[in-house]
Structure 1
């Protein structure tokens, strides 16, 4: 009964207009008074922020903050695939004949994640990492590899929560929520950086849509509230770092594994 009630409440609160209302509040000047309390509540490392707390004019401005130079070193090896975000790994494993198995008990197809993109075939036997960002985390999304952005895709959708409850109990959250996808061609193949919107604010913003050439660690986009990045690699191009698994935390710029031609 409790699970049914929570699912029903989540269905009702997943409407875009509710997220828009939350977004307007977070972008109002009144919201700046909540910044110290918000930072304390979520244990945010304010010493890493680019600016002192009082310099942020709104809660949203603080939430999408940049970090001080050097706060997130980028793994230097030419063949490393790095984490595009600070996150908890909530799923990782090989893609088997176009299906990602057991993400919190649910299977997803690459076709549904990428909404039948012609590029989906590239990832049918690749590798998938699901990276969840909580409100505690730094919310800018960076390039996991150096290469060329060959396509950007906007996939409209809902704004269900992408936390543990949402992934376990709401059907097909990662493929039903709004998504922005960046496809990056690199020396060993291609990666898809799937940015999944979430309940409350949901907005995903590109830093500069005109940019096509990126260097590993460059900013791609940012979330205006906690969300998830699904990172896909092509078949036979990636080997996961041996100590990484579901439940591990990673920082932006940290090596996830190695690419191979």
Structure 2
């Protein structure tokens, strides 16, 4: 009874926004980065017990069942076969476990983070990026809660060719904040991963967006740890080939990945705001024909 009362109290919109945003966000995020790295099995068990008071944390699929730090728990691997990958080459698989947020067509260069709250592609991608391949394209916002599996994977056979890192704030990215803070994704710390698909040569972009208590973003393919104290370089070119389902990196706590595809892509059946999706399930379908020349 007390647990239900506590959860309902935290879910109250005004109180939730106050507790997760009207606080020293960056200082708390840096503290969590330090605290999560403390290697103490007892402290970790106590922290997980508190964590479970507020979330539906389920560790039954974790490959490792005992953790020496919260960091190990946040970034846990799953048992082999826990996330089957859709093998259809005409399907983009979800890169992560998530709750689907705003999704659908990009209206020219305008995207929506929530009803009535638009932002522009150029604001999200940053001034160095050419966003034209995604004008009038498709997008899906994928929100990872703190209790979810935090690693993200390649949605298709592809080559990652460029990463842009954009420093910023650490607003909460839950629906309550998205309905109150304009252009929130464009304000937060984020990275832009530009890819080319092996199937049809289509461009693709993944935009991992950090949030409060998300202390770092690990990118395996460039051996890079992005965090609030990172000082560059902000533009990283690479030629990293990946197969569908390959692990690309992880968030330390939970946040958002926005997937952008060019015109012609369509949302997979069942992908709609509010639905839960698992890494490897169908997210979008590729166009039937070859990719259009961006020029």
Q: TM-score, normalised by structure 2?
A: 0.81
Question: Residue 49 of structure 2: which of 25, 37, 46 is its match?
Answer: 37
Query: Offset at 1:208?
Result: 3.1
The CA RMSD over aligned residues, in Å, is 2.2
On the 8 A contact 1:88/1:131 being kept in 2, the answer is yes
Structure 2 equivalent of residue 248 of structure 1: 275
Aligned residues of 2:63 and 2:78 also touching (Cα < 8 A): yes
- Unpaired runs of 5+ residues, structure 1, are none
Note the alpha carbon deviations across 1:166-218, whole angstroms, 9 max, x for none.
11112211111000121110123111010000102341111231670001111
Unaligned runs of 5+ in 2: 1-12, 224-238, 291-295
Q: Which of structures 1 and 2 has the bigger CA Rg? A: 2
Q: 1:249 & 1:83 partners in 2: Cα distance?
A: 11
Task: Tell me how far apart the structure 2 counterparts of residues 36 and 202 of structure 1 sit (CA, whole Å).
Answer: 17
Q: Which of 170, 173, 177 is matched with 1:166 structurally?
A: 177
What are the equivalent positions in structure 2 for 1:75-114 lying under 5 Å apart? Answer: 75-101=86-112, 103-114=114-125
Matching residue of 2:38: 28
Supply the distance in 1 between the matched residues of 2:113 and 2:174 (Cα, whole angstroms).
Answer: 15
Task: Give the alignment partner of residue 229 of structure 1, picking from 257, 269, 277.
Answer: 257
Could you tell me the TM-score, scaled by structure 1's length?
0.91
State which of 171, 186, 189 in structure 2 corresponds to 1:178.
Answer: 189
Change (3 A) 1:21 1:36: closer
Cross-structure match for 1:217: 245
Contact 2:32-2:215 at 8 Å conserved across structures:
no
- Give the length in aligned residue pairs: 256
